[in-house]
């Protein structure tokens, strides 16, 4: 009960090792029996201890029983790290017993638990669990269970940047389920996630819309939750703020406490992203802070959620807010995480993120070298960031006065965004096209391009882009010689930035006003 303890862990280990094995086994068995006898019906808090003591005394039946009960308890409370440790311990216990021991039938439950805990936050572990489960289901001839397992692997391969493998598995399953409405819908939902990562949210949304009618909220809550969170992600990548907020509410409403805590937290991270897009950085930071507190108890398993948050913070705190210290801190964590989990394509992402920080410090020549490499790498991998890299590279060349290179890049970026639906980057490309035209003296074209950016920004509720568009229009009128109109627009942009709690951007506009 905490009345006695060891001052040093080493002392405990030495004394424990000095007890004969037979005596240790007997002591563990007696402790387990005493805990059970003295619990008076309040067993839940003792599941972990009971699992440990029964394991140490070699009682596999009771060890497995309490390991699984403890894992389920931790999982329901959101303590996914503890739950995964217990599921993994149970799997090791079964492996030690060897084939034919009768415990193999418990393995599917264990692998399901491992996947459920790790599916978003530690994809390597989840892939391991589902690979084992798929082989088991195939061996047993459980076709539907095998399809479900394979389609979950589609999502995991996408998280790891293994897009070819993800689409390969999808096509393999789709050939078998295309005439089965429910499983066809599950397959569409799985591959939609892949296309979102590939930077093609329009395709993703088509698959998701086709899938939803097959899902019943009562019977298919998990499938519907996966569909909703993927829809939300695709809409965020499209920068459709109004629809994103609506789908955030739908996603949150379907997430039950415990089992879907990871999906709920992912939805919250996307909500923070949306608030940055809308020019509400204070609210976005509050949401991210709350997410950090929520997934701290996941321990080492907070990875995938933190990974999404890191990338969001790097983008907005560098390009939008000019907070390079914050961005650099997140970049270092991103690099460490990418190495740890071996995310395919993360090197190119790292180059892009370093370049964003350099751009916010007006170090455009250094940024160009990184961005050229990033664009090359992103064409082959995590393509949802490709338009960001192309637009950033075009803007850097514009700052350096390389108009021809800037123009060729922005035309490519513009075409990508028109085709695939990333409206945030489409606005950037319209405005950069306008700035290039202004610098080249093509003022009529510039006016059309910048007004397209302004109109789209307003319709989507993206205040930062509205302010940037006012600045670009001010440059244009300055070039025309209409200093009065330019000054009005500069001041308007400056007021907007201050209203968005963004002194960094306000100060940059102020330099044009001589403030």
Instruction: Please report, for the chain, the start and end positions of each structural domain, with discontinuous segments joined by +.
Output: 25-109, 119-238, 422-515
State residue 121's pLDDT score. Answer: 63
What span, in angstroms and rounded, lies between the C-alpha atoms of 467 and 450?
A: 12
CA 62 from chain center: how many Å?
Answer: 38
3-state DSSP assignment of residue 171: helix
Q: Which of 12-26, 136-150, 423-437 has the lowest mean pLDDT?
A: 12-26
Give the N- to C-terminal CA distance of the chain in Å, as an integer: 68
Pick the residue with more confidence: 261 or 347?
347
Q: What is the pLDDT averaged over residues 428-434? A: 97
Question: For the segment 329-382, what is each residue's pLDDT rounded down to a tens digit?
Answer: 999 999 988 887 677 778 999 999 999 999 999 999 999 999 999 999 998 777
What span, in angstroms and rounded, lies between the C-alpha atoms of 238 and 232?
A: 10
State residue 339's pLDDT score. Answer: 81
Q: Which of 5-19, 50-64, 125-139, 199-213 has the lowest mean pLDDT?
A: 5-19
Pick the residue with more confidence: 385 or 182?
182
Taking 3-state DSSP, the helix, strand and coil percentages for the chain, each rounded to the nearest 5, stand at 80, 0, 20
Question: For the segment 453-510, what is each residue's pLDDT rounded down to a tens digit?
Answer: 999 999 999 999 999 999 999 999 999 999 999 999 999 999 999 999 999 999 999 8
Q: Examine the pLDDT at 258 and tell me if it is beyond 50.
A: no
H helical segments located in 119-218? 123-140, 143-159, 163-177, 181-197, 201-211
Q: Examine the pLDDT at 1 and tell me if it is beyond 60.
A: no
Pick the residue with more confidence: 106 or 397?
397
Same fold, 119-238 and 422-515: yes
- Mean of pLDDT over the chain: 89
Is residue 403 very low, low, confident or very high in pLDDT (cuts 50, 70, 90)? very high
Contacts 24+ apart (CB under 8 A), 269-276: 269/305, 269/308, 269/309, 269/312, 270/232, 270/233, 270/236, 270/244, 271/245, 272/309, 272/312, 273/236, 273/312, 273/316, 274/236, 274/241, 274/244, 274/245, 274/248, 276/312, 276/316, 276/320
Q: Is the dihedral of CA 177, 153, 298, 272 positive or negative?
A: negative
The pair of three-digit structure tokens given for residue 424, joined into one six-digit string: 């945030």
What span, in angstroms and rounded, lies between the C-alpha atoms of 357 and 103?
A: 54
Percentage of residues of the chain with pLDDT beyond 70: 92
State residue 72's pLDDT score. Answer: 87
Q: What is the pLDDT averaged over residues 438-461? A: 96
State residue 101's pLDDT score. Answer: 65
State residue 301's pLDDT score. Answer: 45
Q: Examine the pLDDT at 433 and tell me if it is beyond 90.
A: yes
Pick the residue with more confidence: 233 or 340?
233
Q: Examine the pLDDT at 257 and tell me if it is beyond 50.
A: no
Exposed e or buried b per residue across 23-60, where buried means at least 16 C-beta atoms within 10 angstroms of its C-beta:
eeeeebbebbeebeeeeeeeeeebbbebbbbbbbbebb
Q: Examine the pLDDT at 288 and tell me if it is beyond 50.
A: yes
Q: Examine the pLDDT at 448 and tell me if it is beyond 50.
A: yes
State residue 503's pLDDT score. Answer: 95
Q: Locate tokens 């992402």: which residue?
A: 349
State residue 300's pLDDT score. Answer: 46
Q: Examine the pLDDT at 514 and tell me if it is beyond 70.
A: no
Q: Examine the pLDDT at 44 and tell me if it is beyond 80.
A: no
What span, in angstroms and rounded, lies between the C-alpha atoms of 145 and 149?
A: 6
State residue 392's pLDDT score. Answer: 97
Domain at 422-515, CATH class: mainly alpha
Pick the residue with more confidence: 65 or 5?
65
The arrangement of secondary structure in 119-238, i.e. its CATH architecture, is Alpha Horseshoe (1.25)
């Amino acid at each position: 009960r905490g009345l006695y303890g060891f001052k040093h862990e080493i002392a405990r280990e030495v004394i424990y090792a000095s007890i004969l094995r037979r005596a240790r086994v007997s002591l563990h068995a007696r402790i387990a029996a005493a805990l059970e006898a003295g619990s008076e019906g309040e067993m839940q808090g003792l599941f972990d201890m009971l699992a440990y003591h029964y394991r140490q005394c070699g009682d596999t039946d009771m060890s497995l029983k309490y390991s699984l009960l403890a894992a389920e308890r931790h999982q329901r409370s959101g303590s996914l790290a503890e739950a995964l440790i217990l599921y993994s311990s149970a799997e090791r216990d079964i492996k030690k017993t060897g084939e034919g021991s009768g415990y193999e039938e418990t393995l599917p439950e264990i692998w399901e638990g491992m996947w459920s805990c790790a599916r978003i936050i530690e994809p390597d572990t989840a892939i391991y669990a589902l690979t084992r489960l798929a082989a088991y289901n195939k061996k047993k001839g459980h076709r539907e269970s095998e399809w479900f397992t394979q389609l979950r692997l589609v999502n995991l391969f996408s998280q790891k940047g293994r897009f070819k493998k993800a689409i390969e598995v999808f096509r393999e399953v789709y050939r078998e389920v295309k005439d089965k409405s429910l499983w066809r819908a599950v397959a569409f939902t799985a591959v939609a996630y892949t296309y979102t990562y590939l930077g093609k949210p329009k395709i993703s949304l088509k698959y998701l819309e086709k899938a939803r009618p097959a899902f019943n909220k009562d019977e298919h809550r998990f499938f519907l939750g996966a569909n909703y969170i993927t829809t939300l992600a695709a809409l965020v990548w499209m920068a459709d703020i109004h629809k994103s907020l609506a789908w955030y509410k739908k996603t949150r409403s379907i997430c039950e406490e415990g089992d879907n805590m990871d999906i709920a937290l992912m939805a919250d991270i996307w909500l923070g992203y949306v608030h940055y897009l809308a020019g509400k950085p204070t609210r976005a930071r509050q949401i991210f802070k709350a997410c950090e507190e929520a997934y701290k108890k996941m321990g080492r398993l907070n990875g995938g959620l933190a990974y999404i948050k890191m990338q969001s913070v790097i983008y907005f705190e560098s390009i939008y807010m000019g907070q390079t210290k914050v961005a650099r801190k997140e970049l270092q964590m991103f690099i460490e995480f990418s190495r740890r989990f071996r995310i395919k394509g993360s090197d190119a992402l790292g180059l892009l993120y370093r370049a964003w920080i350099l751009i916010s410090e007006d170090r455009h020549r250094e940024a160009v070298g990184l961005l050229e490499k990033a664009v090359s790498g992103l064409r082959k991998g995590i393509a949802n960031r490709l338009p960001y890299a192309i637009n950033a590279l075009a803007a850097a060349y514009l700052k350096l006065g390389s108009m021809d290179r800037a123009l060729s890049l922005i035309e490519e970026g513009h075409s990508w965004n028109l085709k695939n639906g990333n409206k945030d980057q489409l606005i950037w490309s319209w405005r950069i096209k306008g700035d290039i035209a202004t610098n080249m003296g093509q003022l009529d074209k510039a006016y059309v391009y910048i007004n397209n950016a302004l109109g789209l920004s307003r319709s989507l509720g993206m205040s930062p882009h509205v302010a940037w568009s006012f600045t670009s229009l001010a440059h244009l009128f300055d070039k025309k010689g209409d200093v009065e109109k330019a000054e009005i627009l500069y001041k308007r942009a400056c007021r907007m930035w201050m209203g968005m709690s963004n002194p960094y951007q306000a100060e940059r506009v102020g330099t044009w006003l001589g403030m």
